[in-house]
Structure 1
Amino acid sequence: MKLRWAVLPLLVMIGVMLVAIVRLEQGPHIPLIVGTAVASLVAWRHGYKWKEIEEMMYKGIRLALPAVVIIILVGLTIGAWIGGGVVATMIYYGLTIISPAYFLVTICIICSVVALSIGSSWSTMGTIGVAGMGIGLSMGIPAPMVAGAVISGAYFGDKMSPLSDTTNLAAGLTHTNLFEHIRHMLYTTIPGLVIALGAYWWLGRRFSETTTDSSEIVQTLAILQDSFVISPWLLLIPLAVIVLVARKVPAIPALVIGIALGFLAQVIVQGGTLADSVGALQSGYVIDTGNELVDNLFSRGGLDAMMYTVSMTIVAMTFGGILEYSGMLQSIMNQIVKLAKTAGSMIASTILAGIATNATCSEQYISIVVPSRMFAGAYQKMGLHSKNLSRALEDGGTLTSVFIPWNTCGVFILGTLGVGAFEYAPYAILNFIVPVISIIYAFTGFTIERIAVLSAEPSIEQQAAQ
């Protein structure tokens, strides 16, 4: 397929998206549907039958089904944990222990440790991140700043964890030893975290005058004590989920156990009725204290609240499915590969390809899978070790998925933390600084490892063995 046809659906979708979001202040669903319609027409013009185009959509949706299940379970978790007093307890102790001046640094580090332990940025944001948002907002810290610190920490831990699915995916697709892949990522990710923590320390200075004795925090603590039973024993519920996932229990059963424990806590500890507890799972927990901040923090969660996120994911993946399986994305990638003549431009192109795939196919897994297939042979011919490719896939694919509002990651964060991609983007510092560091390394040659280029080209497996 010629490049002009391949990019047409993207240009139309982006144009409609800009009008809908910027001018009309509407969501991205309709622009994605328009893009899907144009992509279908392009595929039909190039000989694909309607049944084949439908199957492309279904394949795209099937790729997102695991994410949809997690999104639903996180909605149930938020409802159950708010109703059970778990979130209130975490916020209560967070407000009494953490200094506002160091909160952004602290929450970033906590999310890093948790995500590193369990290997999941989504589970970290859906649990610790939700509580972190409540603590930060109660301290008067803007929501986008808090969300950015949560995201930076969660994605650092996810990226560097041997339990992470994206980390294993990038290493596996390039046939790179998992721990060699992780060690190679240290060169770009550790400096990125240091820069992020330095920025959060600098941003936090403006809140140094806020103390735990301030009237706003004292009022919030009093309302929490009046509205919920606050007990350190409730912290065992999130701890149980973290331990289960760290012991390699799959995310879905671990979250289900967390939901069940939260449900029981609402009935037994908080004294809620069965009807109220089931309602918190279905439509979210609702509280009316007269304090706008507390009411907004705790009136949320539930299955219904995640349907916007689920519908966005499905619509986005129908668009991405057509681009992927009709060959449009491959046509675009082929042009990118042709432009890469040096090791620096090759690695930079891989990172940019990951960003482009996140924007077009709306799923971070595809941003690792597709570029890995497209660039593997080119890395071999250029004598670049496979771990250069695996690192570039994560630096460009895993981390930048959060900046695309219609990507499954951007949608999940909106539904979980309540902040849009364009709002938290300037504060998700690790996520945008690491790709920049990676590109600088690519053009300077720093940490770029090579292999001997043999007359008979070595396979990816042979590279990994070296």
Structure 2
Amino acid sequence: MKSVRLPTILEIVCTLGLFLVIVFSFTAFFDLPIQLALFISWFLVILLGFKLGYRYEELQKAITTGISNGLEAILILVAVGALIGTWIAGGVVPTLIYYGLEFIHPSIFLLATLIVCSITSLATGTSWGTVGTAGIAMMAIGEGLGMPLPLVAGAVLSGAYFGDKLSPLSDSTVLAASLSKVEVIAHVRAMLYLDIPAYLITAILFTVAGFIYGGNNTDLEKVEFLKLALLDTFNIQIWMVTPAIFVIVMLAMKKPSVPSIAIGALLGAIWAVVFQGMNVPDAVGTAYNGFSINTGVEFMDKLLNRGGIEGMLGSVAVIIFGLGFGGLLEHLGVLKVIISKFHSFLTSAGNVTLSTIIVAFFANVFGCAMYVSLILTPKIMGESYDNLHIDRRVLARNTEVGGTLTSGMIPWTDNGIFMAGILGVSTFAYVPFMWLSFVSIALAIIYGYTGKCIWYVKQKQGEGQIQQTF
């Protein structure tokens, strides 16, 4: 049997360089689907695997293993697509938009968006569910108020990822903690030292931006027109938001995400029949086909014609190809080889923190999924923290900062595809406004190099004792 070996740095650089060339050329120059670029990239890594001595059967298993690690994300994506379609048809989203326009003052809208999405994400433990529910409502309100949509998307994502990182219900929080060998609650507490100041700084930034954009730029006639158009098209009543309350409560009670969201979608279809006067086949059909209406008003049609499982199939394909690509890279030990070249650099808390964030970011870039980043980073960096006697709570925290908070910044990752598709704003357009992510990254690096909020583990009299240094 032919022996296998790890790839060399030159082989890795050539393979990943070709990957980036293919992805950027397909999307930026040839206007070809990114799904095709990712599929072709599989075979680049497979060829590398052949050169390293692997059999095709092993490589195919690595692909399927990588895909299986993200199947829950795919199921959630499908369920959220169904939910958005039926919630628009049932008047849930239009009601949220209407009351948002009615009560949220333009100058504090961005701050309100940050807070609403933070609370929703904290309660539900899912950034995807938050963006697919509260997020699309806030985007619609922001458009009605004349706000720059990339800025609104930045506020939505900052709130969604803040709650996702701190909620014990979040799969990313549990994954980062468990793979770093840290208790979930201990991980959440450690995150607070970073997230609270980062959140306050982010809130100030969005407040200032809100006063800049929410004053003279607000077209009150457009706001009133949109409210009247919603009233003419839908039955707007406060109890229309019952399906949204149900889903939030179910997720807050730690019920499984997919059935909770699916039941919420079913309630949306029922609401469409009972309160909006749709026939049963059309109402149920919005779960797959999405909501479609022709009001004669371009702005309204653009706002409401979305959702459905069918609209998510492109994103599902990206996630499948991305997870398969990440599974191949993990099986070949690509990131392990890269990090092994920097062991001499990993001599301080600051250097280890910076390296962890970089590794987590590039695991997103080349693994194409947040799950790949959260799985690989603790495995790759854990030994470096142990060698420096740094408590693994710091590893878990830095993994979240580099993995979770950057996952929506890359157009071909699961998060990047989902967020751009749901919010209707391209990834590169909203990235500059993901202020919570940038502030958190900066604070984590500052903590590392100053020693603030870095905890060390010392052994005394045969027992582990944690020494905290601030």
TM-score range, shorter chain: over 0.9
One-letter code aligned to 2:222: E
Partner SS for 1:450:
strand
Match of 1:376 in 2: 382
Question: What is the one-letter code of the residue matched to 2:451?
Answer: G
Deviates more, 1:354-363 or 1:201-210: 201-210
For the 8 Å contact 1:59–1:321, the answer to whether it is kept is yes
Q: Classify the secondary structure of the residue corresponding to 2:454.
A: coil
Question: Counterpart of 1:271 in structure 2: which amino acid?
Answer: G
Out of 104, 109, 120, the position equivalent to 2:115 is 109
Q: CA deviation at 1:167?
A: 1.3
Higher alpha-carbon deviation: 325-334 or 439-448: 325-334
Once the two structures are TM-superposed, the CA of residue 149 in structure 1 deviates from its matched residue by 0.5
Question: Are residue 161 (structure 1) and residue 167 (structure 2) matched?
Answer: yes
Q: Shift of residue 436 of structure 1? A: 1.6
Alignment of 1:288 with 2:294, yes or no, is yes
The amino acid of 1:160's aligned partner reads L
1:30 matches 2:41? no
1:349 aligns with 2:355: yes
Q: Is 1:331 equivalent to 2:337 in the alignment?
A: yes
Q: Does 1:134 align with 2:135?
A: no
Partner Cα separation in structure 2 for residue 92 and residue 177 of structure 1: 42
Structure 2 gap segments, 5+ residues each: 1-5
Alignment pair present for 1:226 and 2:210: no
Q: TM-score, normalised by structure 2?
A: 0.94
Aligned equivalents of 2:130, 2:51: Cα separation in 1: 44
Preserved CA contact (<8 Å) 2:319 2:413 = yes
Residue 213 of structure 1, CA deviation:
8.0
Kindly provide the amino acid, as one letter, of the partner of residue 323 in structure 2: M
Alignment equivalent of 1:420, drawn from 398, 422, 426:
426
- Give, in angstroms, the shift of residue 212 of structure 1: 8.3
User: d(CA) in 1 for partners of 2:362 and 2:297?
Assistant: 43
Q: Helix, strand or coil: the match of 2:458?
A: coil
- Find 1:252's aligned residue among 248, 252, 258: 258
With over 3 angstroms needed to count, the CA separation of the structure-2 counterparts of 1:243 and 1:465, relative to structure 1, is: farther
| Match 1:51 to one of 57, 64, 71 | 57
Distance across 2 between alignment mates of 1:66 and 1:44: 30
Q: 2:307 is matched with which residue?
A: 301
Q: Distance in 1 between matches of 2:148 and 2:154?
A: 10
Deviation at 1:452, TM superposition (A): 2.1
Matches within 5 A, 1:355-374: 355-374=361-380
Correspondence for 1:39: 45
Query: Is the Cα contact below 8 Å between 1:442 and 1:448 reproduced in 2?
Result: yes
Q: Secondary structure at the match of 2:291?
A: coil
1:191 aligned residue: 197
TM-score (norm 1): 0.95
Could you tell which deviates more after superposition, 367-376 or 81-90?
367-376
After TM superposition, the structure 1 stretch with the greater mean CA deviation from structure 2, 158-167 or 334-343, is: 334-343
1:432 to 432, 438, 462: 438
How many angstroms apart in 2 are the aligned matches of 1:321 and 1:23?
Answer: 28
1:287–1:298 CA contact under 8 A, matched in 2: yes
Q: Check whether the contact 2:323–2:372 (CA below 8 A) recurs between aligned residues.
A: no
Is the deviation greater in 163-172 or in 103-112?
Answer: 163-172
- Summarize deviations over 1:237-267 as a string: whole Å, max 9, x none: 1011101111111111110110111000001
Residues 410-461 of structure 1 deviation map (CA, whole Å, 9 limit, x = unaligned): 11112221222111101111022211210111111111111226899x9xxx
Letter of the 1:58 partner, please give it: T
Task: State the 1:177 CA deviation.
Answer: 2.9
Paired position in structure 1 for 2:3? none
1:214 maps to: 220
**Identity rate, percent:** 36
AA partner of residue 349 (structure 1)? S
Change (3 A) 1:407 1:337: farther
Aligned counterparts of 1:253 and 1:29: Cα–Cα separation in 2: 28
Give 1:46 deviation, angstroms. 0.8
How far, CA to CA, are the matches of 2:355 and 2:459 in structure 1?
21
Residue 75 (structure 2) aligns with: 69
Whether the 8 Å contact between 1:99 and 1:212 is mirrored in structure 2 is: no
Partner of 1:288: helix, strand, or coil? Answer: coil
Q: CA deviation at 1:25?
A: 4.0
CA distance in 2, matches of 1:453, 1:233: 58
1:6–1:329 Cα contact (<8 Å) kept: no
Flag as ranges the 4+ runs of structure 1 deviating above 6 A. 453-456, 463-466
Tell me how far 1:210 sits from its aligned partner: 5.6
Give the CA deviation at 1:28.
Answer: 2.3
Check 1:464–1:28 CA distance in 2 against 1; reply closer, same or farther (3 A cut).
Answer: farther
Which one is further off, 79-88 or 194-203?
Answer: 194-203
| Structure 1, 128-137 or 14-23: larger mean CA deviation | 14-23
- Unmatched 5+ residue regions in structure 1? none
The aligned residue for residue 272 of structure 1 is: 278
Q: Which stretch of structure 1 is more off in the superposition, 3-12 or 85-94?
A: 3-12
Residue 406 of structure 1: CA displacement? Answer: 1.0
